[in-house]
Amino acid sequence: MNKILVTGGLGYIGSHTVVALQNAGYEVVIIDDLSNANVDFVDRIASITNVKPSFYEIDLKNQEKVNQFFRENKIDGIIHFAAHKAVGESVEKPLMYYRNNLVGLLNILDGMKDFNTDNIIFSSSCTVYGQADKMPIDENTSLKKPESPYGKTKQMGEEILEDFSNAFNKKVICLRYFNPVGAHSSSKIGELPNGIPNNLIPYVTQTAAGIREYLSVFGGDYPTKDGTAIRDYIDVNDLADAHVLAIARLLENKNKTKLEFFNLGTGTGSTVLEVVHAFENANNIKVNYQIKERRLGDIVEAYANNSLAAQELNWQPKISLTESMLTAWEWQKSI
Ligand code: WQD
């Protein structure tokens, strides 16, 4: 049985990916520093799959601890989620983002080199494209300067992985997510933001739950059908499935080049107001919102051309926005 290390495996996308990996028959070991995750997710995952993943609380910036982990665990493949990911916070604390996101990655790569792990999936983001000139965005779309230090750490991470792959003959897939939404159908795992949510859907669900007075819609004057910005909202369970397909591609040596990139989105753009109304209609609940100024650093529009992932990973998103809004609300009500 292949043993897969999932860093950040107690986080939002990480925990859903651990469930999907276990259901696919992989042995999973998690490293998480619990800076943006809850240790009770280990038991929550086990309650879904009936298999308790082994868990190490390690800060990936601690190279000695990382090396100790690799000495104790023979790892066949790595899915690397562990990173800080709040766009706004990264603007306020760039050095913390560069240190955490890049040193953590470098220590993992040193471990791969020194302990003979050949396969890694990197959690990247559509933010590396900046505001792309044309839609939908495909993997050949030229990268622009990201709007935030968070986005720059993703772009730098991809560049580091290119040189790492070439120098040490390692197999790498970078998965560029669009906007992850939804929760597991069991309502045992989901998005658990610390403090005031940065992302749209947790803010919507907390508003519906009465935790927030109203949702601020950042910008009503964009050049779009209803004046609000467009994104590609992809269900987290579909994202998790793509990670299982991607790690299998590397383990079975089906990759065409040592370094590959895949966009993970639905291929459909939705405005902020379309998402709010989808949530209201799915759950038959009203969401108070007010149109406010645009948020600094936001782009107008981003949605994916996902045909390369369909062709090479045999991956198709299956879960509709409505279904994602239902699971997001069920999860919010359960916490
Ligand atoms: C989506 C839309 C906001 C909150 C970022 C990263 C990406 C990924 C997801 C980590 C935008 C609007 C939001 C609110 C709003 N990172 N919005 N009111 O900025 O597209 O992507 O987060 O997983 O890499 O770049 O996501 O959810 O913050 O915003 O109107 O209270 O919702 O302006 O148009 P974003 P988001």
Residue 217 lies in a domain: no
pLDDT-above-70 percentage for the chain: 100
Query: Per residue in 169-216, pLDDT tens?
Result: 999 999 999 999 999 999 999 999 889 999 999 999 999 999 999 999
Nearest alpha carbon, ligand 1 atom 3: 218
If you search the block for the tokens 């665990």, which residue do you land on?
73
| Site of tokens 């651990």 | 18
- Residue of 150, 177, 203, 289 marked active site: 150
- Ligand 1 mutation target, pool 200, 211, 234, most atoms within 8 A of CB: 200
The verdict on residue 15 lying in a domain is yes
Does residue 241 form part of some domain? yes
Exposure letters 52-68 (e unless 16+ CB within 10 A, then b): ebebbebbbbeeebbee
Q: Whose CA is nearest to atom 19 of ligand 1?
A: 298
Q: Whose CA is nearest to atom 33 of ligand 1?
A: 218
CA 199 / ligand 1 centre spacing (Å):
5
From 176, 175, 170, 174, select the one nearest 146 (Cα to Cα). Answer: 176
pLDDT at 309 over 90: yes
Any domain includes 282: no
Q: What is the pLDDT of residues 157-166, one digit of tens each?
A: 999 999 999 9
Tell me the chain's radius of gyration from C-alpha atoms: 19
pLDDT tens figures, 36-48: 999 999 999 999 9
Give the predicted TM-score (pTM) of the model.
0.97
333 falls within a domain: no
Supply the range of the domain harboring residue 38.
Answer: 3-181+233-265
pLDDT digits (tens, 9 = 90+) for 230-276: 999 999 999 999 999 999 999 999 999 999 999 999 999 999 999 99
Residue 130: which CATH number?
3.40.50.720
324 in any annotated domain: no
Nearest to 264 by CA among 246, 285, 281: 246
Residues with CB under 6 A from ligand 1: 85, 87, 125, 127, 179-180, 198-200, 203, 215-218, 229, 231, 272, 295, 298
Domain assignment of residue 60, yes or no: yes
Instruction: Let me know if residue 41 belongs to a domain.
Output: yes
Average pLDDT value for residue range 48-72: 98
Residue 229 CA, ligand 1 centroid: distance in Å = 10
Domain count of the fold of the chain: 1
Q: pLDDT band at residue 331, thresholds of 50, 70 and 90?
A: very high
Residue 233 is a catalytic residue: no
- Are 21 and 81 contacting, i.e. CB atoms less than 8 angstroms apart? no
Higher pLDDT, 89 or 40: 40
Pocket test for ligand 1, best of 203, 272, 273 (most atoms within 8 A of CB): 272
